[in-house]
Structure 1
Amino acid sequence: MKTLLLTGSQLATAAKLIQQGELVAFPTETVYGLGADATNVAAVKKVYQAKGRPSDNPLIVTVSKVSMVEKYVQPLSTDAKKLIDQFWPGSLTMIFKLKPNALSKTVTGGLTTAAFRFPNNQLTLDLITQAGVPIVGPSANTSGKPSPTTAQHVYHDLNGKIAAIVDDGPTTVGVESTVLDMSVDTPSILRPGAVTKEDIEAVIHRPVVDELHHVGMSQTPKAPGMKYKHYAPDAQVYIVDPDDDWQAVANWIAAHDQPVGVMAFDDVIKTINWPQNADVISIGTDAKTAAHDLFAELRDFDNHKQYKVVFAQGLKPTGIAEAYMNRLNKSAGQMHFKQL
């Protein structure tokens, strides 16, 4: 299969491919997604095959209007409507209880709930509208690898495995959407993102649970990223915690005869005497730039196979830094510099 690189002026081609049961990668403000007709079981199965994704890892359903959600789910609560009004289109995915047999178990992972997303990207909203169906939208990458924030990242992983990629340049947020479970009595964040616990509580005026980011291997996750290893380059990533000594990191690198990657803020980079075998990459100046750059920089190191170790700056998990640390911890497999 030849994978087409399409521009925004070629959405009609992309929409036709979706209607024909093919896979099309699409842009959002967070990361690029891998789209297939959510009502076509054969097409959805292709998504798992192309990504190498476990079949019990449910897929997010991406829509271009609220009525698409209402067609499949039980009546929306008052709180859900408030959140939709405030954050859609945007970086908030919500899990709702489904009407009986509304969506295939291939989409839901066998659950009676499904996650819905209304992205803040006009090209993708137009694509869904033209296709006339909601589309599943996991990240458009090989399962377990860093998520794609450019069309070129998608092409690297999935060239020859999918029909097309709609290129809208680099994404603006850089980490996946917040996933909020609205199918339970107390709304619960299953995956942190740009929309924070505080943002949500300010709208619904009641507490939100923010501690449910992982499930055991015998359980079916309600949201992506809760069970399997994610976002990992071939190199072993180690987190340098806020109280760690960066000069000690530099000394460790100097004592090892191999290229070592470093991802850090500008103020760290300029204050340390780095050895020649340290390849130091900036992740900007704050949590927002760190989150935006994380996957792209991990992929950059992954493209150069000589790296066996990468050190990445850890942050206190508040605001969008919580999303950054959630992805970084999964990428590192919870490994920290102080464990070396």
Structure 2
Amino acid sequence: MITKYWSVDKDVDKKTSYTHIQQAADFLKKNQLVAFPTETVYGLGGNAKEDSAIEKIFAAKGRPSDNPLIIHIANKNQLEELVEEIPEKAEVLMDTFWPGPLTIIFRSKKGALSKVATAGLQTVGIRMPDHPVALQLIEESGLPIAAPSANQSGKPSPTKAEHVKDDLDTKIAGIVDGGATGVGVESTVIDCTSTIPVILRPGGITKEQIEKVIGLTHMDEALTNEALTPKSPGMKYTHYAPSAPFYLVDGSKERIQTLIEEERQKGKKVGILTTEENKQFYHADSIYSCGSRNDLSTVATDLYDGLRSFDYDKVDIIFGEMFPIEGVGHAVMNRLMKAASHQIIQ
């Protein structure tokens, strides 16, 4: 398969951009797969109503089919066609955070979506992305779009079109290049089907922000207990991992540098995932600063690009700094822990 490549501007009204988005939407209408930018990461889009389109998503990603997909919409009219009811707290969350990086779990309307997309569940995760290209593409297609991250399953999520090309070129029909994404980590997922909403995946909208508008929420116990199975779409299996073994280090810069030196003495090429405040301290073969410790949103933005950079540099082992589990730091550490398969050097 030859993958078509469209370059578009965030000003979707520009003639060339609009034409390219229309062409990509036509692919979606024909049940072909199109990768596109959102404010979080690039998504791999397919017609959420059609089994054949969804099966192509699982095949292209190498994703287990018991892992449900998040559905992307462009307006609330689409939502009413897909869900049984809209709980009051979900309505408040939508009014506050949509469009934006928040996925809400609803009870799905029977027959409205492909059972393959929902993995046979009676619930579905839905969000409205805060990206003009994504919204225009969904609008032009006239469809709800199932869109997990546009990467090979298990690899770091793509925040640039070239990341998508690295993983999925010749496996999908098209890629819409809208530049680098903004938030950098996937959407927060919150289940609003229970009396007290449950956050199933931390992301671009923090627990603190959510509780300011709807009050008490719980965190899914599986986020901190490895023995439990995560309930969130896309969180059931290993994710975000670079090719080389990756270890988080709960210790000082000096401790990390000692580990780097020990591995280099063994003849290994070593990478370090660090921050602007600390990058000058380290001596390693590949050093990537993913942002500032004083603003963890910058770390979230560049995290996946950093993890992918070590594959490009062909390192043998990677060490990474740890971050406070507060605000968006919760999402950052959630992704890092999964990338490191929960391997922490004390």
TM-score (norm 1): 0.93
Contact 1:197/1:210 (<8 A) preserved:
no
Alignment of 1:314-329 (within 5 A): 314-329=322-337
Name which of 293, 310, 315 aligns with 2:302.
Answer: 293
1:113 matched to 2:123? The reply is yes
Q: CA deviation at 1:246?
A: 3.1
For residues 122-141 of structure 1, give each alpha carbon's deviation from its aligned partner in whole angstroms, at most 9, with x where no partner exists.
11101111100110010000
| Alpha-carbon separation, structure 2, partners of 1:12 and 1:323 | 34
1:178 matched to 2:185? The reply is no
Specify the alignment match of 2:240 in structure 1: 231
Q: CA deviation at 1:243?
A: 5.4
Q: CA deviation at 1:12?
A: 0.8
Contact 1:201/1:208 (<8 A) preserved:
no
* Partner SS state of residue 116, structure 2: helix
Cα gap change, 1:118 to 1:210, in 2 (>3 Å): same
Specify the alignment match of 2:289 in structure 1: 282
Identity %: 44
Alignment of 1:1-340 (within 5 A): 1-8=1-8, 9=17, 10-213=20-223, 222-241=231-250, 245-272=255-282, 274=283, 277-286=284-293, 287-305=296-314, 307-338=315-346
| Alpha-carbon separation, structure 2, partners of 1:70 and 1:242 | 50
Cα gap change, 1:215 to 1:74, in 2 (>3 Å): farther
Q: Which moved more, 1:125-134 or 1:223-232?
A: 223-232
| Alpha-carbon separation, structure 2, partners of 1:70 and 1:156 | 37
Cα gap change, 1:54 to 1:62, in 2 (>3 Å): same
| Alpha-carbon separation, structure 2, partners of 1:36 and 1:112 | 20
| Alpha-carbon separation, structure 2, partners of 1:63 and 1:255 | 52
Contact 2:201/2:223 (<8 A) preserved:
yes
Cα gap change, 1:270 to 1:243, in 2 (>3 Å): closer
| Alpha-carbon separation, structure 2, partners of 1:99 and 1:202 | 30
Q: Would you say how many aligned residue pairs link Structure 1 and Structure 2?
A: 333
* Partner SS state of residue 183, structure 2: coil
Stretches of structure 2 that go unaligned for 5 or more consecutive residues are: 9-16
| Alpha-carbon separation, structure 2, partners of 1:247 and 1:7 | 42
Stretches of structure 1 that go unaligned for 5 or more consecutive residues are: none
Structure 1 outlier segments of 4+, above 4 Å: 214-219
Q: CA deviation at 1:254?
A: 4.2
Q: Which moved more, 1:163-172 or 1:65-74?
A: 65-74
Q: CA deviation at 1:218?
A: 9.7
Instruction: Supply the AA of the counterpart residue of 2:332.
Output: Y
* Partner SS state of residue 263, structure 1: strand
Q: CA deviation at 1:14?
A: 0.3
Contact 2:198/2:217 (<8 A) preserved:
no
Q: CA deviation at 1:42?
A: 0.7
| Alpha-carbon separation, structure 2, partners of 1:285 and 1:228 | 29
| Alpha-carbon separation, structure 2, partners of 1:304 and 1:255 | 19
Instruction: Supply the AA of the counterpart residue of 2:341.
Output: G
Q: CA deviation at 1:98?
A: 1.2
| Alpha-carbon separation, structure 1, partners of 2:82 and 2:245 | 42
| Alpha-carbon separation, structure 2, partners of 1:261 and 1:15 | 40
* Partner SS state of residue 126, structure 1: helix
Q: CA deviation at 1:269?
A: 2.1
Q: Which moved more, 1:263-272 or 1:5-14?
A: 263-272
| Alpha-carbon separation, structure 1, partners of 2:126 and 2:97 | 13
